Structure 1
Amino acid sequence: MSSDSAMFSDDDRPLAAKATPNGKNHTTSIPKVNGTNGHIKKEEDYEMSEGDDQPLATRKPGKASPPRKRKKAINSDASSSDDDVPLASSPAKPAKPAPKKQNGKSGPSKERAVNKKPPKKKAKQESDASGLSDEDVKPPVVKKRKARKLKGENNAEESSDDDRPLTKKMEPKGRTKAAQEEPSGSEGPKAKKRGKAKKEEDSGTPVKTKKKKDEEEGEVFRWWEQDPNGDGSAKWTTLEHSGVFFPPPYEPLPSHVKMKYNGKSVDLSPEAEEVAGFYGAMLETPHAQDAVFNKNFFEDWKKVLKDHPSQDGTKITSFELCDFRPMFEYFESEKAKKKALTSEEKKAAKKAKDDMELKYTHCSLDGRKEKVGNFRVEPPGLFRGRGEHPKKGALKLRVRPEDITLNIGKDAPIPVPNVPGKWKAVQHDNTVTWLANWTENINGNHKYVFLAAGSSLKGQSDMQKFEKARELKKHVDRIRLSYQNDLKSKVMADRQRATAMYFIDKLALRAGNEKGEDEADTVGCCSLRCEHVTLEAPDSITFDFLGKDSIRYYNQVRVEPQVFKNIRIFKENKNDDDSLFDRVNTSSLNKHLNNEMKGLTAKVFRTFNASITFQHLLDEEPLANATLQEKLNAYNRANREVAILCNHQRAAPKTHDQSMERMRNKYRALKYERMKLRHTLFAIDTKFKKSKKYADDESDLDDDWIATHEDQLKEKEFEKAEKKFTRDNEKLVEEGKQPHDKSILKERLDAIKEDFKRLTKERGTKKAALKREKSTEKIEEMVDKLTDKVKAFKLQMIDRDETKEIALGTSKINYLDPRITAAWCQIHDVPIEKIFSKTLVTKFPWAMEVEPDWKF
């Protein structure tokens, strides 16, 4: 097979239905391939049944779905002959017996056993800088292998969303010669001037879009020019850091703030009061309305009350008799006090906090100053979980030094904790990249402190992850041909594996892992049950299941006849709660993929499909004469398609409607300004009324809105005048001069009133006057600029509304090779800051210097 990276088969990008979130469905069509010639039947050749548009009932996590009538085996052209039925198992390797079922669920896998000791772990994405998330990284089981696995290999999955496919395949555009000749494992892209960014000569720093630089961090270590692959078992030689920052101890509430039980105040012990306060602070959130959350909280709180009973002897046995309202009101009043602080007081408080945490923010790695990511230990609280987690509401215990293992250089001084206590252990392992480790009490997950996203170690991991996905391009045609052949295998295990690979490749499904009884009932491809897949003759399959973070995946797809046939065979003689792929699991699938290509896993397919789809979508957008906002909208459209492919959904923000209303008002305000300028031209010369350019009035600006808008403008002008008067007087006092008399302020306010009286008189006359006279040419120029602003802002509104239920950030951070964006920005002269936040620019310094003709 040719290794020319510029050539792609028709299958290089997954098919997908442009599915809308929240269970709304559209039909997807996976193309049928006749033989091996790659000819694809068009979507119009198929007809769906009338019931296809009706969504299936969503299965509630942790509970068995109600039984439903199963359809009889479909005897049509799609049914297989006797020769097509696979054998039960491979003759060379008999299938292992399935684990015993308990309550309709598979028993826990040995691979999911929690290690007592934290394993050696390679760099993964760190949690939010504000503290570790509830669902942090679980340590993998350490296995001996001949060839060491690349660091960034399994770091593709850190999102809060799942999988949903695109509508149709996009044909790849031609690629430049430079892109074709570039090997997939090339070290680092050459530096290039881009947009307004200028390269600093001989500074050894990457291209920056802003001249301002954080002096504390110094020069960026250009690791991608020295050791881009990060090979070698040792990750560092010297490592020195200050440990982790523990939250302050609990401070009891004022004596007058007490919860009530059966209408009477209760004198709780400090330990019990702290836990009650966690719930009291959340009293008016959706969590406090959740039965599972309340049940878990109350059970854990009763355990605390048993060890630390109420000081007045009150026995708390009923959740319904508890009244946390006094606590809630106290916390709300404290929030209001913080908001009411002056800007100087807020700055002083922030400075004190920053000074306290300063030494924990950076470490010394091989003599370089590197930023630490999640150095704060998460405070105790109530576990919220993601989706329908069965342990939500459980008590997260306070983490103490005795719970934490530090990893530090042999010759480095051991840091002293900022709270009383001693470290659990101190080790000196330079083959791992974490600085601290402990185990949380809710799910028994290992929590790690890593370097920040922009560090050299994390950057190497990211770069290797995307290079692994690029490497897949050279093997993907062969792998697809292999699993297409195995779709007809006589060995059941091979046929199931090939069918699972087909779905992972074409629909970008996650592989999925077995779940324990105490975890949310979410599934992936390998863990699908029969109830999650419904067949509709002749070739349609409906998927309906809860994916990662309990995000519903609902999709109707048309598949190849052999795939339809296989699913029918897999479902025969099985109950709804039986596993669809009972001969396949994630480990065996990834082992097979590793044999196809070293380091290949199901996650790599997901990254590959997301990035190659994104590249094709961007290449197909005609942006030769587009405005900046049109270019940004085109980028976001492509990003949105990938987010739909990967099912990166989110609930629409609670403030979305208010936000859109503010945008609509701003849009009208721009049109109001343009209207006043048009009316000014009409007052100067009536010929402008006959011009088509100025003839159309602002139809969505009625008199009531104009009156309200002008009143708001007047209030803003008053406020600005008063603030300026106060600032001027403060400056005069500092200079030792006499402050202005209040009569000056009164004169300014009277002048504003006169201006707005004039505006009131102008309403409905289609004539206006400016404060300062301007030439007609200048006014026309101002109208043109406002017209451009109106158009651009309208595009922003459309973009904001279309992405309200799609999480664009997840794919941008984890699945889209950042070099695609950097190269696209150079080609179309788009400032990178319009797309990447400062955090992402810092996270991907190795991608910022890519050549403009670079292609994934």
Structure 2
Amino acid sequence: MRGDSSDDDVPLAKTTQASITSPSSNRKMDSAASVGLSIRKGPVDDRMDIDSTPNGAAKRKSRTSAGAAPKYKEESDSDDGAPLAKRQRSNRKQVESDSDDEPIAKKNGMKLPPSAKETATIESSDDDKPLGSKLAQRKANIEKAAAKDAKAIRAKKPATKKAIKDESDDEPLAKPKKRQPNGAASAKKTNGVKKEPDSDSDVPIAKKAKAASATKGKAAAVKEESKDLSENEEEEEEYRWWDQPKKEDDTIKWTTLEHNGVLFPPPYQPLPKNVKLYYDGKPVNLHVEAEEVATFFGSMLHSTQNVENPVFQKNFFNDFKDILDKTGGAKDMNGNPVNIAEFKKLDFTKIFEHYKAISEAKKARSPAEKKAEKAEKEKLEAPYMYCKWDGRKEKVGNFRVEPPGLFRGRGEHPKTGKVKKRVMPEQVTINIGKGAKVPDPPPGHKWKAVQHDNKATWLAMWQENVNGNYKYVMLAANSTIKGQSDFKKFEKARELKKHIDRIRADYTRELKSEIMADRQRATAMYLIDKFALRAGNEKDTENEAETVGCCSLKYEHVTLREPNTVIFDFLGKDSIRFYNEFVVDRQVFKNLKMFKKPPKEPGDDIFDRLTTSQLNKHLSSYMPGLTAKVFRTYNASWTMSKLLQSLKVEDRTMAEKIKLYNDCNREVAILCNHKRTVGASHEAQMEKLGDRIKGLKYQKWRTKMMMLDLDPKLKKKKGAEYFERDAELDDAWIGQHQKFLAEELKTKIEKKFEKDNEKLVAEGKDKLPAKELKERLKAVGELEAKFKKENKTGKVEAEGKGPTVEKLTAAVEKLDERIKTLELQAADRDGNKEVALGTSKINYIDPRLTVVFSNKFNVPIEKFFSKTLRDKFNWAIQSVGKDSTWEF
């Protein structure tokens, strides 16, 4: 029996602590059974004991309704030094205080921070395996290197405030911008229109201060009439903004701005009279607005994951009934009212068949028709594709207003299926330079407002009806303003490497802090730094998806399994489930166990003394502008940098070098928790890739048999094993493959014949006669006869012009290279099935690292960056140039 006393029998009101802990309870914690919960959608381990609430303990309300701080029993870490219970025994009465610098035991009646429901996490994962110990150990080694590097950097120059601001490995950092007040936060979660990071330009107009008026000199510089921005202009010299000196005031985004507004979707085309919605087996007539909403659902019957979702059906039906009520309801063929009261009686089949026929007709169009339609579409969009930004032609990223439809959302979004209403010009605010011609709204309409805010980077904005988010028309990813934003983001992460060791040392020490607020903050910092959890933000609107992040984790989201495994299970970004198990530091485990102690229960916050704003304010004391999200960029880039430096690629083929890079990227994605569920088409893709590899192996075997046809003695010289057929190439598969090759040849001939005819028609000549196609298709029959003979005799006649053993040997070697390349691709693709490489490579790994790898190992940058990404990261490609020594 232990000598320390237990206060289990003391009334709960007398055992409150929340701020400090006793050594006795901490020792109990070390020897206690595991703390656990039944995991939503996850496994329940027999080793997990459910937290129990002491008899008589009053239930505690969640943060949103609680008015006072929760009360906990005393407990602390056993190795914190002198027993805190003794030190605090004379001060058991609590005094009102809102200071986090005092022990929470002295606080009483402190108003808890608001509920932090707005959050996002990285891609969810259904992988129930914990992070691999091998990768975890590698990350630990990289963290040690980071600490060593940080000390070396600071040794060169004192880390004063001025030094922190001015010191940079390459370019000076832009001045940190103030965090935006509530109002613009929700704009981040728009469909396809993301607000620019760290910008104060995306706040709803009602909450923004009026922009400073432009000077007369600036206004005079702007032409009265905006010229057609779509006109072909001479190739402009590339604006190398990364070589330009940093602006003293980078809050001013532009001096002159001209653009042609936004492109609205075409109006709704009513259904033919013979196409109706059916209710209870009978066709009904609808007002055109209600009919349009019915077509939203009817046209997507093929998307079973949506239309068969009960939440999707419920939300759609509720909105559909509202629109029916506003438009006079449904009527039968005789004009009598029809009461549409049950969703299951609705039949959208005729509508679906109508739109399916339209889709198939589009697919069946001739290449000439498709080309003409594409040209017409480009002509319509041309005026909106570019703007003039400080006299430079810049591409606009998303000038199209999203058409109406049904909101789908991601994951388990509670609003999936709701109707996205048509955006009208009266909802759109235009931002343009003073003196520039304001774009004309569609005839009969007007803009909501026109403003001239040169601190804003958006060209137009409106508010959508489903989530109330603001959507913005921004410049394209390859624009100057977007490139500068990316550059600043990665430079901020590079700055963090100078301070990372001190930050980690501080939060490690504060894991045992006497002050509960500090202990919670340190634990959250540990989770954010080690496991890339997003910080999480407070929500300011009702009925949002219950997504959470680190600071807003609830009791039920965290399960603890002795001795030091933490299981997270919650809805993260875009309502996608985040499920993962992590092995954590023992002190972190003990802290989380403490944060879950009764009387806490499901619905209560784990970190009830911490908000994202408090966390970021603390981080900014280490480095101007440092926030929790910078850790994700830093950890990804630093880890990738060290992994790439450790590579040995001598005597490697191009495919092997690419795979090595992807392997490093994969490790970063795993360590940073960028996981995804296996795609539905993955198995089919792998099977198709496997068939391609087997097809090449078959081709290689046939080529070797041709060598024997030319020189039978080669079998003795090279050995019979060299000419053996791969075991996986059985007779049944070969028969199927030969049919495929014959069909492939037939398709190729028919397409060539069709193209030849199109060319002749374009030149005003007659088409080729049908007998010409028949003559060409004889080659298919000849190939089939050849395969039949080979299968019967087991011999293959040499093909090609002037075949020789030397030529065929060279062909075999080339086939070997192609097979090896495809096998590497197959292994790469299979390894990536549960890992989102793109998330890391595009958003978190400094693109200059990829450019350096490309330069150092002579791998074309096209192998890593698509055309779109090369445009987006042009600043990185150009600023690094051919240098192979640049370091993150």
Corresponding residue number in structure 2 for 1:186? 170
Aligned to 2:340: 316
* Structure 1 partner of 2:397: 373
Cα distance in 1 for residues equivalent to 2:731 and 2:34: 50
Cα distance in 1 between the residues matched to 2:588 and 2:680: 41
Residue 764 of structure 1 and its aligned partner are, at CA, apart by 6.1
Query: Kindly tell me: are residues 161 and 233 of structure 1, through their superposed partners in 2, closer, same or farther at Cα, counting changes over 3 Å?
Result: same
- Contact 1:594–1:600 (CA<8 Å) still a contact in 2? yes
> Shift of the alpha carbon at 1:370?
0.1
Deviations 1:776-810, CA, capped at 9 Å, x for gaps: 11110110000010011111112122222322212
Tell me the distance in 2 between the aligned counterparts of 1:252 and 1:434: 34
User: What secondary structure does 1:610 align onto?
Assistant: helix
- 2:654 pairs with 1:656: no
2:804 is aligned to 775
Instruction: Give the direction of change, closer, same or farther, for the CA distance of 1:752–1:322 in structure 2 (3 Å limit).
Output: closer
Worse-superposed segment, 223-232 or 164-173: 164-173
CA distance in 1, matches of 2:810, 2:846: 41
Can you list the C-alpha shifts for 1:413-471, whole angstroms capped at 9, x where unaligned?
00012454111111111011111111111111111111111111111000000000010
How far apart are the structure 2 equivalents of 1:406 and 1:415? 8
Residue 701 (str. 1) matches residue 701 (str. 2): no
Deviation at 1:69, TM superposition (A): 4.2
* Of 283-292 and 352-361, the range deviating more from structure 2: 283-292
Q: For residue 643 of structure 1, what is the amino acid of its counterpart? A: A
Residue aligning to 2:310: 291
After superposition, residues 374-389 of structure 1 pair within 5 angstroms as 374-389=398-413
Query: CA 1:354–1:272 in structure 2 vs 1: closer, same or farther (change >3 Å)?
Result: same
Match of residue 666 from structure 2: 640
2:275 paired with 1:264: no
1:440 equivalent to 2:464? Answer yes
Q: Which residues of 2 match residues 281-430 of structure 1 at below 5 A?
A: 281-285=299-303, 286-309=305-328, 310=330, 312=335, 313-418=337-442, 420-430=444-454
Cα distance change, pair 158–368 in 1 and its aligned pair in 2 (3 A): farther
Counterpart-to-counterpart distance in 2, 1:739 and 1:557: 68
SS where residue 851 of structure 2 aligns?
helix
Do structure 1's residue 559 and structure 2's residue 584 form an aligned pair? Answer: yes
Paired residue type of 2:568: F
Q: Secondary structure at the match of 1:376?
A: coil
- Which residue pairs with 1:519 in the alignment? 544
Q: Does 1:807 align with 2:836?
A: yes
Instruction: Name the residue aligned to 2:181.
Output: none
Letter in 2 for 1:603: K
- 1:830 maps to 859
Task: Find the aligned partners of 1:370 and 1:846 in 2 and give their Cα distance.
Answer: 15
Matches within 5 A, 1:577-726: 577-690=603-716, 691=718, 694-725=722-753
| Counterpart Cα distance in 2 of 1:77 and 1:755 | 80
Summarize the Cα distance change of 1:49–1:719 in structure 2 as closer, same or farther, 3 Å threshold: farther
AA aligned to 1:530 is: Y
Residue of structure 1 equivalent to 2:297:
279
Query: For the Cα contact (< 8 Å) 1:217–1:369, is it kept in 2?
Result: no
The question of whether the paired residues in 2 share the 8 Å contact of 1:55 and 1:554 is answered with no
Counterpart Cα distance in 2 of 1:654 and 1:439: 34
Contact 1:217/1:370 (<8 A) preserved: no
Aligned equivalents of 1:294, 1:438: Cα separation in 2: 27
1:354-387: CA deviation from partner (whole Å, max 9, x where unpaired): 1111111100001100000111111111111121
Distance in structure 2 (CA, Å) of the matches to 1:744 and 1:345: 25
The secondary structure found in structure 1 opposite 2:789 is helix
- Kept in 1, the 8 Å contact 2:707–2:798? The answer is no
Offset, 1:837: 0.7
For the Cα contact (< 8 Å) 1:384–1:393, is it kept in 2? yes
CA-CA distance at 1:216 after TM superposition = 7.4
Code of the aligned partner of 1:847: A
Residues in 2 aligned to 1:497 and 1:737: alpha-carbon distance in whole angstroms: 79
- Structure 1 residues 535, 218: CA separation in 2 closer, same or farther (over 3 Å shift)? same
Q: TM-score, normalised by structure 2?
A: 0.76
The CA distance in 2 between the partners of 1:67 and 1:386, in whole Å, is: 33
In structure 2, the residue matched to 1:468 is: 492
Q: Where does residue 115 of structure 1 map in the other structure?
A: none
Give the letter aligned to residue 329 of structure 1.
E
Question: How far apart, CA to CA, are the structure 1 residues paired with 2:343 and 2:352?
Answer: 16
Deviation, 1:652, is: 2.8
Higher RCO, 1 vs 2 (CA within 8 Å, ≥6 residues apart): 1
Pair 1:248 & 2:266 matched: yes
Corresponding residue of 1:58: 41
2:575 alignment partner AA: S
1:83 pairs with 2:83: yes
CA contact (8 A) 1:407 1:436 kept: yes
Aligned pairs, number: 730
CA deviations over 1:294-319 (Å, ceiling 9, x no partner): 11111111111111023532221221
Question: Is the CA contact (8 Å cut-off) linking 1:165 and 1:646 kept in structure 2?
Answer: no
Partners of 1:96 and 1:774 lie apart in 2 by: 93
Task: Name the TM-score, length of structure 1 as normaliser.
Answer: 0.78
3-state DSSP class of the match of 2:439?
A: coil
Select 2:789's aligned residue among 743, 758, 761. 761
Residues in 1 aligned to 2:665 and 2:494: alpha-carbon distance in whole angstroms: 19
Quick one: structure 1 residues 626 and 655, their matched pair in 2 at CA, closer, same or farther if it must change by over 3 Å? same
Inter-CA distance 731–326: structure 2 relative to 1 (3 Å threshold)? closer
Distance 1:463 1:96 in 2: 46
Give deviations 1:96-142, integer Å, cap 9, x for gaps: 96768xxxxx9657x98xxxxxxxxxxxxxxxxxxxxxxxxx9xxxx
Per-residue CA distance 1:552-577 (angstroms, 9 max, x = gap): 33333333332222222222221132
| Corresponding residue for residue 553 of structure 2 | 528
Equivalents in 2 of 1:395, 1:454: separation in Å? 33
Percentage identity across paired residues of the two chains: 49
Check whether the contact 1:487–1:498 (CA below 8 A) recurs between aligned residues. Answer: yes
Q: Does 1:843 align with 2:872?
A: yes
CA distance in 1, matches of 2:664, 2:376: 44
Q: What amino acid sits opposite 2:887 in the alignment?
A: K
Tell me if the contact between 1:52 and 1:556 (Cα under 8 Å) persists in the aligned partners: no
Q: 1:819 aligns with which of 848, 864, 875?
A: 848
Quick check: 2:36–2:50 contact (8 Å CA) kept in 1? no
Cα displacement string for residues 506-531 of structure 1 (whole angstroms, at most 9, x for unaligned residues): 11111112345512222111111222
| Pair 1:852 & 2:852 matched | no
Whether the 8 Å CA contact 2:520–2:609 is kept in 1: the answer is yes
- Paired residue type of 1:425: A
Deviation at 1:613, TM superposition (A): 1.4
The code of the aligned residue for 1:330 comes to H
Q: Would the alpha carbon gap of residues 514 and 68 (structure 1) be closer, same or farther in structure 2, given more than 3 Å must change?
A: farther
User: Which amino acid in structure 2 is aligned with residue 577 of structure 1?
Assistant: G
Check the 8 A contact 1:511/1:602 in 2, yes or no.
yes
Contact 2:710 2:804 in 1 (8 A): no
Structure 1: 5+ residue stretches without partners: 1-46, 61-65, 101-105, 113-137, 139-156, 190-213
- Correspondence 1:541 to 2:525: no
Written as runs of structure 1 = structure 2, the 5 A alignment for 1:133-152 is none
Separation (CA, whole Å) in 1 of partners of 2:734 and 2:447: 66
| Residues 734 and 293 (structure 1), Cα distance of their counterparts in 2 relative to 1, 3 Å cut | closer
Larger radius of gyration: 2
Equivalence for 1:8: none
Superposed CA offset, 1:30-89 (max 9, x none): xxxxxxxxxxxxxxxxx99999999933389xxxxx995449999999797883579897
Deviation at 1:293, TM superposition (A): 1.2
Residue 440 (structure 2) pairs with residue 456 (structure 1): no
- Report the counterpart of residue 168 of structure 1 in structure 2: 136
After superposition, the CA RMSD in angstroms is: 3.7
Q: Residue type of the partner of 1:83?
A: P
